[in-house]
Amino acid sequence: MFSMSEKELGKKWDRCLADGAIKLGTGLGLGIVFSVLFFKRHTWPISLGSGAGLGMAYANCQNNLRSHYMLHRGDKVGLSMEKID
């Protein structure tokens, strides 16, 4: 199909949200699991896990959105020397 650059952002947001939801859920779950299993039902592992999950999702989303502007390690940058006459 025809490439539509305007749809990309929407796609990114979709991914962000999906990723956030997954990570939040996973973090929550793991937090609950750890809080139940190892940390005597304190709430802090749950908030930790969800926070961590949220944070990871945030960071992922941001990274995703930034990815165009970021230079990757393997990229080669061309320097053009303009002649100044």
Partner 1 sequence: MLRACLRGANATARKNYRRIPLTSLQQCRHYTAGESSSASKVVVAGLLTVSGGIGGTVLYAKWDHKFRAAVEKNVPYSDWLLGLALGPAAQDPGLPIKKRVELAQPPSMIEKQAKKSAKKEGAEGPVKDSSPAPSQPAQSLEEASAEATHIISAIGEVPSVPAPCDTEAAAVKECNECHEHKEATAVHPAPTEPMKERPVEEVAARLAQQEQEEQDISASVSASLEDSLASSAKATLQAIGAQEAALQAIMQHTDKLKEAMEAEVLPEEKSNQWKDLEAALADRTTALNDARAALSKANESLDSLRSVIDESKGLKISSVRPLVLAAEENLHNMVVDLDKMVMKVQSAESEAKIVSQYSELVNEAKRQFQREVSSLTPEIQANWKGLTGKLSTDDLNALIAHAHRRIDQLNRELAEQKIREKIHIDAALEQQKLEDQKALDNAVNTALQHVKEDARLDQERKLAELREVMEAEMRTQLRRQAAAHTDHVQDVLKVQEHELKAEAEQVLSSKMLEQETRYRQLTQEQLDNFTLDMNTAYARLKGVEEAIDSHVVAEDEARKAHQLWLSVEALSYSLKTAEADVPTVPLENAAQAVRDSCRDNDFALALASALPEKSLQRGVYSEASLRARFNSLRSLARRVALIDESRNSLYQYFLSYLQAALLFEKSQEAPPSQLSSEDLDPFKLLSYASYCLEHGDLELAAKLVNQLRGEARRVVEDWLIEARLTLETRQVVNLLSAYANAVGLGTTQAP
Residues that bind partner 1 (CB under 8 A): 2-6, 8-9, 58, 61-62, 65-66, 68-69
Q: How far is the CB of 81 from partner 1 (least distance, A)?
A: 23
Rounded Cα gap, residues 60 and 25, in angstroms: 15
Q: How far is the CB of 28 from partner 1 (least distance, A)?
A: 21
Nearer to partner 1, 6 or 85 (CB): 6
Q: How far is the CB of 35 from partner 1 (least distance, A)?
A: 28
Question: Cα 69 to the chain's mean position, in Å?
Answer: 15
Nearer to partner 1, 4 or 81 (CB): 4
Rounded Cα gap, residues 22 and 31, in angstroms: 14
CB-CB neighbours of 9 under 10 Å: 10
- Three-state DSSP state, 82: coil
